[in-house]
Structure 1
């Protein structure tokens, strides 16, 4: 124990033994010298030294250098501006301050007035830069083109149905391309000459009555258009007698109701609505005959599928346009000459165009409608004029089922509106 204590109390080698009563010197009492935390230019200018609380890092030094460069640039710009002002007040710029090219004549290089001096200096500074006038001109031109660009915009009419699974937005364009390709399969051509006892007027009387029956049973609009399609296709392949024409009509509506409706009317309902002109067995036999002649081909693109799509493309969505287009379309399909002259998609597009003209919806034909219908204004013009003529004579016609249907308040009474008489002046 004594030996270890003695070793601990011995001073380290190379140091003298301190007196016992001497005061111990504190450690790390060496005075700070210049370690690079002073700004040297302030010291050179005799300004008080500013101590920085943190060492000058590389990024902080770069910031200081950038600020110094910006201040020097601003100072130089101010000095140049003062020189220009002084020279402008003197009336000319001396030859000493103007750079000359080798071999340039003094007489050709002389500047006679302060205006020329200022313009030359301003041109030198603005070389390669856009002037305020050019910027404003470009903006004005861009602003003037905005209406034309908006006019040509094709709107996405399916954007609100993205979350609706029944709308099948992913396939809707392909569906209607298929409809356009196959609409001729379910379309009839002139067949009236092949019938001996039936003419176009009898057909119109039958369809006018079927519109009343359709309204009485409160059926879907798809059912009416499919009924008319079945009647025409059957008459085109089967020579029907006059006394069986009404039977063909109620049997066709029975088939269409089974195809389109959730709760279809029964056979006895159609017998009753025809004032018992036929018995139940006759209706069933005619139903079987129709299905055999049409080979059970009922999935056809009728006028309604196109009308439903085209009224949706008539943006902004308008219930009044929808009702007016439906009114004109039903007037069209009840006339024999219309259905043999124009395909269903053409009649639907013309009905929308005529409806917008009647309701004064500007523009009458938009880029959106042109895109989704694939028809231009010139293509739908002739058919639209025919539909308007039907509208003009609907009130005085003896067959007023469609007119009465769309004269009711629940359908907006669109049939009572004056028809569009100036379709030739309609803008595209």
Structure 2
């Protein structure tokens, strides 16, 4: 262990009559040096001067009195001077190194104190500038609290991921392409999607596979003219691609040949698969309505199985409808499906601050799309295309298709604050 520093002893100058005499100071314990680990031998009692040689004290007192004690000086004056000498604290002389060390400690403490004060000040100003102190979004529910320990939920990144999805959906938006398809129309597309929903259900595929299939069909048809006889081939090949992308155990090509009643041969499906991937430049990682649905259903509190099935029922009705599919973004369709489902199930608040926070849409932005979805619900029972309706009349889907359709959106229902 390194030797501890010892404060150097400095002479003390005592004022008096005649030539001043130098008296060496004894080592004394100083509080600040004790704090930093410097020790001085022969500690004195804290706050009191250390012992001084008797002879030197006598000489100092004599000088104060102006003469020796035994020379007949005034006794009262002598006693007063003696008491003053006793009460007078000796001066402590610090070395230059000690002074620098003490100054550094003082400056460090001062900086730490200022840092804490500055941080709290900046935090308060930041909250005030962002409006967090009185922001109604302070009441937003933490929908990820239950998944805090679930690594697959990636709670730390989920908000950033959905911000990216909202940006990415604009890059993959499908515009009205029926004008470039002389042999096709919106009704043919609806028939194709209705049939794909049946195939999807028969193969018991993942829900995201269906949404990706429809996305691939629309994007491909917006890029290439397709004759009517190949429209079903496009649908089959699109589902094959989506299955390979989403499913753990994807159906084989021969399964799709069989499900299409041998309308197309295996080689035709594989050729079309290659053409589709080439036109899409192999871009399959795109935000579909399903990506947003799972998040927005979670934000629709309280959310139960009935609510979830109603949302997906309305969203799949929207998949079949060409005007909805090409007029609204995936996030808008998902938000409107949640809004329409809450209206159909007569929830106390149609649009909450939690939903507004996570979707980024206010109620007025959703009413038009939600009204179209509710109109589809009203006509689902009488439509000739019943794949979605049959799917959601089953008990395992809470039979939500049988629920009374909602009336028109009431303009007086507003966001919960």
TM-score class, shorter:
0.5 to 0.7
1:266 to partner: Cα distance: 0.3
Give the aligned partner of residue 181 of structure 1. 167
Is 2:348 aligned against 1:362?
A: yes
Unaligned runs of 5+ in 1: 1-147
Task: Provide the C-alpha distance between the structure 2 equivalents of 1:300 and 1:426, rounded to a whole number of angstroms.
Answer: 36
Task: Provide the C-alpha distance between the structure 2 equivalents of 1:181 and 1:312, rounded to a whole number of angstroms.
Answer: 21
SS of aligned partner of 2:210 = helix
Aligned structure 1 segments of 4 or more residues deviating by more than 6 angstroms: 148-152
Aligned residues: 281
SS of aligned partner of 2:292 = helix
Tell me the alpha carbon deviations over residues 318-374 of structure 1, each in whole angstroms, 9 at most, x when there is no partner: 211111010000001111000111100000000000000100111111000000001
Task: Provide the C-alpha distance between the structure 2 equivalents of 1:186 and 1:411, rounded to a whole number of angstroms.
Answer: 31
Is 2:195 aligned against 1:206?
A: no
Unaligned runs of 5+ in 2: 1-133
What is the 5 A alignment of 1:115-126? Answer: none
Is 2:399 aligned against 1:410?
A: no
Give the aligned partner of residue 257 of structure 2. 271
Is 2:294 aligned against 1:305?
A: no
Task: Provide the C-alpha distance between the structure 2 equivalents of 1:302 and 1:360, rounded to a whole number of angstroms.
Answer: 27
Whether contact under 8 Å (2:137, 2:357) holds in the other structure is no
Whether contact under 8 Å (1:186, 1:229) holds in the other structure is no
1:425 to partner: Cα distance: 4.4
Tell me the alpha carbon deviations over residues 30-88 of structure 1, each in whole angstroms, 9 at most, x when there is no partner: xxxxxxxxxxxxxxxxxxxxxxxxxxxxxxxxxxxxxxxxxxxxxxxxxxxxxxxxxxx
Give the aligned partner of residue 103 of structure 1. none
1:402 to partner: Cα distance: 0.4
Max Rg structure: 1
Closer/same/farther in 2, CA of residues 230 and 426 from structure 1, 3 Å limit: farther
Tell me the alpha carbon deviations over residues 144-187 of structure 1, each in whole angstroms, 9 at most, x when there is no partner: xxxx9999710000001111111100000000000000102222
Is 2:287 aligned against 1:290?
A: no
SS of aligned partner of 1:391 = helix
Whether contact under 8 Å (2:371, 2:408) holds in the other structure is no
Give the aligned partner of residue 315 of structure 2. 329
1:290 to partner: Cα distance: 0.3
Closer/same/farther in 2, CA of residues 280 and 156 from structure 1, 3 Å limit: same
Whether contact under 8 Å (1:357, 1:426) holds in the other structure is no
What is the 5 A alignment of 1:202-241? Answer: 202-241=188-227
Q: Which of 370, 377, 380 matches 2:363? A: 377
Give the aligned partner of residue 337 of structure 2. 351
1:426 to partner: Cα distance: 5.6
Whether contact under 8 Å (1:331, 1:402) holds in the other structure is yes
Tell me the alpha carbon deviations over residues 172-212 of structure 1, each in whole angstroms, 9 at most, x when there is no partner: 00000000001022220000000010111000000000000
TM-score, with length taken from structure 1: 0.64
Whether contact under 8 Å (1:223, 1:257) holds in the other structure is yes
Give the aligned partner of residue 236 of structure 2. 250
Closer/same/farther in 2, CA of residues 426 and 321 from structure 1, 3 Å limit: farther
Task: Provide the C-alpha distance between the structure 2 equivalents of 1:331 and 1:268, rounded to a whole number of angstroms.
Answer: 29
1:422 to partner: Cα distance: 3.6
1:221 to partner: Cα distance: 0.5
